[in-house]
Structure 1
Amino acid sequence: MTDTATRATSNTITSVADTTTATGIGLLVVRIGFGGLMAAYGAQKLFGWFNGPGWQTNADGFTAMGYNPGELFGTLAGLSELVGGLLLVFGLGTPLAAAIVLGTMINAIHVMWSGGLFPSDPAVPGYSTPLLFALVAVALAFTGPGRFSLDAGRPWARQGVVLGAIAVGAAVVAAVLTLIAKAVL
């Protein structure tokens, strides 16, 4: 009987360790892939890398969307995507990084809202991509960075409802303040 209990406990421990490792690997893949894409979008806006518009064209685009001054809002969007994305890649300050990305995506959804979720005209951008990015940011805000991150073992790396809700709340507040500034300026 002792032998059976020992084996069952040993298998349970192995199973927990395997699950923790698998979850950590999954979060690492999501963070690197998603964070890398966000950082690349920011680099497109700021530096023109990866076939991007570059800073001046980006600023002009933000002015055309009603974000005046376009230089300020375009730079803010590019920096948010670049910094938020890089923080996610490394799993550093993950709740803050998720909030940065989410706030930016809320503004992107606002801009593309009139195109609909899946526009029938391919020339009209819909908001499905920024919505997908926002959902990933929310998920990372609640799950945390995982075991394979620079945040691992730090107090803010703890996942959970409270920390996730704080990150999402901060993102919503930042996005609303940005939209108010857009309307006022």
Structure 2
Amino acid sequence: MEDLGLLIIRLVIGLTFVGHGAQKLFGWFGGTGVSKTGEWLESIGIKPGGKIWAICAGIFELVGGLLFTTGVLTWLGSSLIVIIMIDAIITVHGRNGFWLTNGGYEYNLVLIAITVGVALTGPGRYSLFYQPF
């Protein structure tokens, strides 16, 4: 059951990040694509090069999500997700306090804890990179 639980966590969190990356990079799933995401990043003070940062964020989310989902190099996928979440806390949510109801970083911190916990535990048997200890 532990392996099934890890699979569920990896699928939900990982595929969500794949989707977020695809929104930023390709405008899929109702996303804004690189240009509009870059404009938004510049509007919140990330200058110059909002488009470059949008591409970086999209790649981190897409690749991090794929690695986390598949259980291949789970530690690396988790690290990419953690970097994006720390960036979101620093640039957007941190100034709003902890609680999500105020636009705070509560959810970002939960995602960090989940991905780090799975990386430390291992991806489980139902992964493309199962390696029993």
TM-score normalized by the length of structure 1: 0.66
1:63: how far off?
Answer: 1.5
Structure 2 gap segments, 5+ residues each = none
Q: Which has the higher contact order (CA 8 A, sep 6+)?
A: 2
Alpha-carbon distance, 1:67 to partner: 2.3
Helix, strand or coil for the counterpart of 2:8? helix
Q: Which residue of 2 aligns with 1:104?
A: 84
Say yes or no: does 1:62 pair with 2:35: no
Q: Distance in 2 between matches of 1:96 and 1:127?
A: 22
- Secondary structure in structure 1 of the residue aligned to 2:13: helix
Query: Residues 2-21 of structure 1 correspond to what in structure 2 (within 5 A)?
Result: none
What is the Cα deviation at residue 80 of structure 1?
A: 0.5
Equivalent residue, structure 2, for 1:136: 114
TM-aligned CA deviation for residue 88 of structure 1: 1.1
After superposition, the CA RMSD in angstroms is 1.6
Q: Report the CA distance between 1:54 and its aligned residue.
A: 1.4
Distance in structure 2 (CA, Å) of the matches to 1:102 and 1:137: 8
Q: How many equivalent residue pairs?
A: 131
Structure 1 distance, partners of 2:59, 2:72, is 16
Structure 1's unaligned 5+ residue stretches are 1-21, 159-185
Which residue of structure 1 lines up, in the alignment, with residue 94 of structure 2? 113
Task: State the distance in 1 between where 2:95 and 2:32 align.
Answer: 23
Match of residue 21 from structure 2: 42
How far off is 1:119 after superposition?
5.9
**Normalized against structure 2, the TM-score is what?**
0.90
Higher Cα radius of gyration: 1
Q: Deviations over 1:92-131 (max 9, x none)?
A: 111111111111111111121111222665xxx3222222
**Is 1:147–2:125 an aligned residue pair?**
yes
